[in-house]
């Protein structure tokens, strides 16, 4: 199926009129490049498997245990790679291959929650950097003393939305607060929302009468101004209550365009979730993908434990996770979400 689609795309890309519609052309090239990467990865696995299987046969025939052990070691490493590719093959949702917007909002609790929100932003930024994704900061609202009230970043790279989409939900932190002079234990919450970046080929109807647009001055930490004009833009979609903001561009017009793109992405993601929830309901499945659900608990005191409440995956390497080692959670939640219901084959 993938090979046939790649052949179709290759033929379409040879059309001299392709770039008369740049948006459509870019989308087509992106799909072709994505398919080429996946097919090439499969071919590389097949070649490594073939080469090392032959080495094992040769080593056994000649009694060379060193060759056999080395080939077996390579195949063991290959298995982990294949497991990852198998998960990637499940990223077949209509927007899974897209870039992603990731928004973090501090929960109630003032400075403590705002510091936790900044820790979460750092965690996802580190994860993205480790996987070669590009990060762009679109909006950040600083806390009064420390941390952030809210922030939105854009994560650009292959399958960014597919990998991050299951991170939407509430993240809970338990620790000794560095802001409490009595060194008491505090529980903090922050919410994460992930939406796919969409292009103009996906039509999302937004009526002007449904929007409220506010402009404000972009401010940095400590009250320092990023600029001296009201160029930052906040847009509220009145029917849904969705709020987006952008302050990364120099002009109000550019920030409004970026904010509208973010709003379209959020409304599109809400539609995707509605369809998923409807499909799950029709199959009698329980859903835990909605906004507002606690998805992960990060306990730093009195013991070290980070646990995903949906999949049961846990680790005591809390510092590693906060430094961006999230793959075990992302892979488990993706597999859990896409696994067929045992009671509804």
**Domain boundaries for CATH 1.20.58.410 within the chain:** 2-88
**Is the torsion defined by CA of 338, 126, 191, 150 positive or negative?**
negative
Q: What is the mean pLDDT of residues 257-267?
A: 93
Q: What is the mean pLDDT of residues 187-199?
A: 91
What does each C-alpha distance from 11 to 1, 22, 32 come to in angstroms? 16, 17, 11
Question: What confidence category does residue 272 fall into, taking pLDDT thresholds of 50, 70 and 90?
Answer: confident
When the candidates are 1.20.58.410, 3.40.50.300, 3.30.70.260, 3.10.20.30, the CATH number that belongs to 2-88 is 1.20.58.410
pLDDT for residue 76: 87
User: Per residue in 4-31, pLDDT tens?
Assistant: 877 888 888 888 888 887 767 777 777 7
User: Per residue in 300-319, pLDDT tens?
Assistant: 989 999 999 999 999 999 99
User: Per residue in 79-102, pLDDT tens?
Assistant: 878 877 777 776 767 788 889 999
pLDDT for residue 283: 46
Of 151, 150, 143, 152, give the one whose Cα is nearest residue 110. 143
CATH class of 100-338: alpha beta
**Domain boundaries for CATH 3.30.70.1660 within the chain:** 100-338
Q: What is the pTM of this model?
A: 0.73
Of 282, 314, 278, give the one whose Cα is nearest residue 298. 314
pLDDT for residue 228: 52
């Amino acid at each position: 199926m993938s090979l046939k689609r790649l052949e179709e795309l290759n033929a379409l890309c040879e059309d001299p009129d392709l770039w008369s519609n740049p948006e459509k052309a870019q989308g087509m090239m992106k799909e072709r490049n994505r398919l080429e990467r996946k097919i090439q990865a499969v071919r590389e696995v097949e070649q490594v498997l073939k080469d090392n299987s032959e080495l094992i046969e040769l080593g056994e025939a000649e009694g060379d245990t060193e060759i056999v052990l080395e080939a077996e070691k390579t195949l063991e490493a290959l298995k982990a790679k294949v497991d990852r590719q198998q998960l990637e093959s499940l990223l077949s949702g209509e927007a899974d291959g897209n870039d992603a917007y990731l928004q973090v909002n501090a929960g109630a609790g003032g400075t403590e929650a705002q510091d936790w929100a900044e820790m979460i932003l750092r965690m996802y930024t580190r994860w993205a950097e480790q996987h070669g994704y590009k990060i762009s900061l679109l909006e950040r609202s600083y806390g009064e003393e420390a941390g952030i009230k809210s922030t939105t970043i854009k994560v650009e790279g292959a399958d960014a939305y597919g990998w991050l989409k299951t991170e939407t939900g509430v993240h809970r932190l338990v620790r000794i607060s560095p802001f409490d002079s009595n060194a008491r234990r505090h529980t903090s919450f922050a919410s994460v929302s992930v939406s796919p970046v969409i292009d103009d080929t996906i039509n999302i109807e937004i009526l002007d009468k449904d929007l409220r647009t506010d402009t404000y001055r972009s401010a940095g930490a400590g009250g320092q101004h990023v600029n001296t004009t009201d160029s930052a833009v906040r847009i509220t979609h009145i029917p849904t209550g969705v709020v987006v903001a952008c302050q990364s561009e120099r002009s109000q017009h550019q920030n409004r365009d970026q904010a509208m793109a973010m709003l379209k992405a959020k409304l599109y993601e809400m539609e995707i979730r509605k369809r998923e929830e409807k499909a799950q309901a029709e199959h009698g499945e329980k859903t835990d993908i909605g906004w507002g659900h606690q998805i992960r608990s990060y306990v730093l005191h009195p013991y070290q434990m980070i646990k995903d409440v949906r999949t049961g995956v846990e680790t005591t390497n809390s510092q590693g996770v906060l430094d961006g080692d999230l793959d075990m959670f992302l892979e488990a939640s993706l597999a859990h979400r896409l696994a067929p219901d045992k009671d509804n084959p």
